[in-house]
Every structure is written in structure tokens, then in C-alpha cells.
Amino acid sequence: HSSGHTMQVEDQFSFYSLLNEFFSSKLNIVLTLICAYLIYRLFKKSSSDDSEDVEIIKIPEPLQPHDMTLDELRKYDGKGEDGRICIGVNGKVYDCSKGRRFYGPDGPYASFAGHDATRALADFDVTAIKDEWDECLDLTAAQKASVQEWEMQFSERYDLVGKLVKELPPFELKQELGDQKTNDVDKEVCYHGLMACMCDLSDVCKVNSVISVLK
């Protein structure tokens, strides 16, 4: 027991001796303080970066399912008031608003927003975006396979709005313009109804006049 106690005392003595020797040098103290400061700065920067990465994204209400033309698709480029982002992929339109970090105005794939990204996804070239209608008939089998893989990823992550079409069928155009025409129709009905009432009132007045004359 005494030998074990002696060894323990010797270990403690050697440890304190080492500390005393280390802190007796001003250079060692300065270096220790510098290391502690650098570790503190590194930890603080890491914490602030993590907090900055947490971005609150306001996702607009889901769109009613419907087919879209390129003209309508261009409206959803992430720069509108609601920040909605829609992207065309392989003949379909997806609402990618919750992917604003990637497809928003400041994102790495901002060129996809409000466009048909099919050709760009075929080779993953963010500059291969066209404003006009693109059938993508010249894509190779490998490019088509790549597009299909991207389409699957979009379908798993984002809501499908509808098909991307060159133009809307006539009945859908009528439906789209229906609300605009409704107000004009209502005004016309009210006008004719008022005129009819005036005519009826005029006829009543004439009858009353005839009756008064006969009396």
C-alpha cells in the first residue's frame, strides 16, 4: 500500500511540476491564450453559420390543378409577390416553391424557375433554357433517361400542378375567360331588365290614362 501511495504522490508531483514549468514561461501562456481565443472564435462562427442556414421560407397556398402554357409558367419565376416557383419537366409542371433555396432568384438553378427545364436537365446545363416552345425531339436515349430520372425526383419532392401544353383547348380558354366576361354579361342583363321594367311601367301608365279618359 505504501509503495502504491508513494507512486501516486510522485505522479501528482510530476504533473504539478510540468504545469509549473509550462506556466513559468510567458511565451507558453501567450500561446495558450491565443489557442483558446481561436477555438472560441471558430466555435462562435460555426454556431452563427448554422443559424444563418435556417431560412424561413413562406410557401404559398397550393395551386388548383390545371394545365399551363409557357405564358402562364413564366409568371411563376419566384419574383412575384407570393414567391411562387413553377418548373416544367418532361411535359409536366411542378410547384417548386418550397425549393426556393435552389430555384429562387438567388439560387444556383434560378434559370429553371418559370421555364421548361427539360432540355437543361437532359445534360444538367443551367444555360440550356429556351423561352419558346421546345419539343425536345432531338434528345438522345441517354438524355431522355436522365430527364426521366429528374422527373421522378421532382415528382417525389414537389406538387404536380398539371401538364405543360403549347396552347389550351378551346373549352379551357372559354373557362379561363369566363370570369372576365361574367361582369359584362351581368351588366347587360341588369340593363335589359331595367329597360323591361321601364317598358312595363310605361304600359301601365298608358292603360291608366285610357281608363281615366273613358271615365
- Long-range CB contacts (within 8 A, 24+) of 194-203: none
86, 93 in Cβ contact below 8 A? yes
> Does residue 62 sit within a domain?
no
> Does residue 99 sit within a domain?
yes
> Does residue 159 sit within a domain?
yes
What's the sign of the alpha-carbon dihedral 94, 98, 101, 105? Answer: positive
| Percent of the chain whose predicted confidence (pLDDT) is above 70 | 56
- Do residues 113 and 34 share a domain? no
The domain containing residue 22 runs over which residues?
15-44
Residue with cell 429528374: 150
- Do residues 157 and 90 share a domain? yes
- Do residues 40 and 75 share a domain? no
> Does residue 54 sit within a domain?
no
- Do residues 95 and 142 share a domain? yes
Count of domains in the chain? 2
- Do residues 25 and 83 share a domain? no
CATH value at residue 136: 3.10.120.10
Q: What is the pLDDT of residues 115-130, one digit of tens each?
A: 999 999 999 899 999 9
> Does residue 4 sit within a domain?
no
> Does residue 89 sit within a domain?
yes
Q: What is the pLDDT of residues 9-56, one digit of tens each?
A: 455 556 566 666 656 666 666 667 677 767 877 776 655 555 445 556
> Does residue 185 sit within a domain?
no
> Does residue 157 sit within a domain?
yes
User: pTM, whole model, 2 decimals?
Assistant: 0.58
- Do residues 31 and 77 share a domain? no
